[in-house]
Chains A and B, each alone.
Chain A
Amino acid sequence: MQLSKHNILTQIHGDDRWLLVNVLSGQADILPANDGARLARGEITDPDALAAKGYLVFADEEARRYRQAYLDFIAARDTDEVQLFYVPSYACNFGCSYCYQDEYAPAPSGDGAAVLDAFFRYVDDTFGDRAKYVTLFGGEPLLPNPSTRRTVESVVRETAARGVDLAIVTNGYWLESYVETLRKGRIREVQVTLDGPQPIHDARRMLKGGGGTFSRVVDGIDACLAAGLPVNLRSVLDRDNVAAFAELAHFAIDRGWTDNPNFKTQIGRNYELHHCQTERSRLYSRLELFQDIQRLIEADPEILRFHKPAFSISRFLFEHGELPPPLFDSCPACKTEWAFDYTGKIYSCTATVGKQDEVLGTFWPERQLNAADVAAWEERDVLAIAQCAGCSSQLACGGGCGSVAKNTCGRIDAADCRPVPSLLSLGTSIYGREALAAS
């Protein structure tokens, strides 16, 4: 027997004990300091206990389980819900300091109604028998001009008529004025962004030409929650605003948002996507960001009422008392995610939509899809990525983002690694306190 290729062993942050996790066998244990240190050196102290939990395996037996888990993953994904993004325009009223779309040169708009009609016909024909939902994306999809309002009303009406949920990604500035329109639809959630308390947010997410936006966004969130529309509040963090994250959390708590079951949050890392930002020094790596967030939570645990970071699979482990199933692929592009824009073009995902060199085909004025390009996205998973082959974290990481990999390495089938052991170490120090105290 040999140690499993999928053992993830990491010393718990701020503790002398170790966490041992194996996503393939579904086991997770806390090891005493000495046992963990010896296992880290490859010493096997208790083979029976390790074998009983799949940490010590016969290689061929583990290979069989891996293959079966992969087949199950693919089968399950083939029936999973598809998210279909629609971009009615790349125009935006914000001039955010970190906008990755600011170099896009949008094509002039044509017959928006005809393109939207073609989009829904494409959805019916291509995804008719799949579970799915539509997400309005941009640019900013909730601008106040009459043609945009007509488009949003059409999308709300057409999705509802099909029994399909609708999500909206908006900067929130005109959100309050759209609430009555949205209430007529099947709204899954409205994603809005606040980057901090008012001075911080307004310095990062200002109107084009200047002007704060915080109060309008807050009013929009209040209006959605009052109308029963789910809100997903995103905060884009980097070194410039992370210190104010606790203040934003307390703002949300004091406003009663965190007590509302329709309110949830997510963190977006400000990172290099398509072109150089003016101040790269403010950008975090994934690990650096969550190291600082862990420190913030240690200093002020009330933050967890506002947001509970995943820290890889550690939050899932401690909330559910089990591990998530093996993740053979974390990139949804062309599998459970597609993006479409008002020019009739088709893209793989939100990271590629609007980039002319990422066009996969068209749904208007005629339908055409580049099968080879689509296949490259479809085939991307940890089995296709050479760097994943020897990585013990592959089934928790899933190979990362294909678009980031392409930007970094020039290839879709390259790894965009998540620092899984370090994130588990940090997450266990936050979510595993009870278990650590009892062991």
Chain B
Amino acid sequence: MKSLIKKNQPKAQASCCAPATDIKVAQCCAKQSKVVAGCHD
């Protein structure tokens, strides 16, 4: 397995022990999908 993840982030195994907020949910994904018109596609 060759990881494609370059940024440091909590491993899934660790996150089950750590506070759930370790999994950061930002808005970039939603924003990435938001365009001025045509988001319906």
Contact = CB atoms under 8 A, between A and B. Distances in A.
Contacts of B6: 320-322
B36 A25 contact: no
A318 B40 contact: no
A169 B37 CA distance: 7
A10 interface: no
Interface size range of chain A in the complex: 35 or more
B4 A321 contact: yes
A54 B31 CA distance: 26
Contact of A327 (B4, B24, B33, B41): B33
Interface in A326-360: 326-327, 330-332, 336-337, 349-351
Contact of A320 (B7, B38, B39): B7
Main secondary structure of the interface of B (DSSP, over half): loop
Interface string B24-39: 1111111111111111
Given A64-B20, A322-B6, A268 B38 contact: yes
A65 B12 contact: yes
A128 interface: no
Interface residues of B, number: 34
A54 B11 contact: yes
Interface string A25-40: 1111111000100000
Tell me the dominant secondary structure on chain A's binding face.
Answer: mixed
A205 to B, nearest CB: 15
A404 interface: yes
Contact of B2 (A24, A30, A191): A30
A350 B13 contact: no
Contact of B5 (A137, A169, A323, A351): A323
Interface of A: 20, 22, 24-31, 35, 46, 49, 51-54, 57-58, 61, 64-65, 68-69, 72-73, 75-77, 80-81, 83, 135, 137, 167, 169, 189, 191, 232, 234, 266, 268-269, 271, 273, 286, 310, 313, 316-318, 320-327, 330-332, 336-337, 349-351, 398, 401-404, 432, 435, 438-439
Ranked 8 nearest A-B pairs via Cβ: A54-B12, A321-B6, A324-B29, A68-B20, A72-B25, A25-B12, A351-B40, A439-B2
